[in-house]
Structure 1
Amino acid sequence: MEPALNPSPDHASLTRLVHEFYADVRRDPLLAAVFGPRIGDDWDAHLVRMVAFWSDVMLGRAAGAPPFQGNVYGKHMTLEGVTPQHFQRWLDLFDATARRLFEAPVADELLVVAKRIAASLQYGFFGKVEVAGPSA
């Protein structure tokens, strides 16, 4: 029997989202080619930062998780070889993971945030938004 979908985000469910999503990223040839060389063997630290980021975004600092400290835009702007296809794949994987773990309204809310992040980064890389959302 499939586990029940989460009706609302909490620190534990966001931790699971981040860990499952980045496991998919690491297995994906397109995304692993960009993120693997940059993150190297430091995935544990990256996951801690990403859990803090998503907890801050979705729950606020009162969530009990360590606050996010970092520069999402600046870190990503140093990546080389990023194309619109990377954003498409990232959004597709994120959407699939969110929908696998959360009820539709929460998954939709998570995707709104993910699409905003993707749009901001695309402006930095391409000067415009090339990919607006998941392909399906």
Structure 2
Amino acid sequence: MYSELNRASITTLVGDFYTDIRRDSVLQPIFDRAIGANWEPHLERMVDFWCSVMLSSGEFKGNVFRKHMALQGIEMEHFRHWLGLFETHVRRLFEPAVADEFLVVARRIAASLQYGYFGRLDAA
């Protein structure tokens, strides 16, 4: 379990999490359509994203909302499933206070995207 939040620990989180995504029957098809064979650049971008968010590194440049709004076939279940997997990984890898910080951000991002797709939040 990591007590320190840094690029190395975030890289482990991203790698482990997306390994599970790629095996997941619910999320794998969505990600395969969006990413195709470009997993390495995506993983690097996700490390930059989480470093920017959690460490204020400023490494990530891009519009998360616009990129995700271009995806087709997104359902509320995808958000629940993504958040569940993400929570499993952050709670396994990080001390509770750090995991909680990750989850605040992840839930905020999910809420924003849910509003974009559906005009509402998931009631579950």
Question: TM-score interval w.r.t. the shorter chain?
Answer: over 0.9
Report if aligned partners of 1:122, 1:128 keep a CA contact under 8 Å in 2: yes
**Structure 1 residue ranges without an equivalent (≥5):** none
Counterpart of 1:24 (choices 7, 20, 36) is 20
* TM-score for the superposition, normalised by structure 1: 0.88
Q: Give the aligned partner of residue 55 of structure 1.
A: 51
Identity of paired residues, percent?
53
Partner letter of residue 25 of structure 1? I
Partner letter of residue 59 of structure 1? L
Structure 1 runs (4+) greater than 4 angstroms displaced: none
Q: Give the aligned partner of residue 37 of structure 1.
A: 33
- Secondary structure of the corresponding residue to residue 9 of structure 2: helix
Shift of 1:6: 0.9
* Structure 2: distance between partners of 1:85 and 1:14: 25
Counterpart of 1:8 (choices 4, 9, 22) is 4
- Secondary structure of the corresponding residue to residue 128 of structure 1: coil
CA 1:131 to 1:29, structure 2 compared with 1: closer, same or farther past 3 Å?
farther
Partner letter of residue 87 of structure 2? D
Give the aligned length.
124
Shift of 1:56: 0.6
- Secondary structure of the corresponding residue to residue 61 of structure 1: coil
Q: Give the aligned partner of residue 101 of structure 2.
A: 109
* Structure 2: distance between partners of 1:71 and 1:98: 24
CA 1:78 to 1:16, structure 2 compared with 1: closer, same or farther past 3 Å?
same
Q: RMSD between aligned alpha carbons?
A: 1.2
Deviation per residue, 1:73-116 (Å, 9 max, x gap): 11110111101100000000000000110011111110000000
Matched, 1:127 2:123: no
Shift of 1:8: 2.6
Matched, 1:79 2:47: no
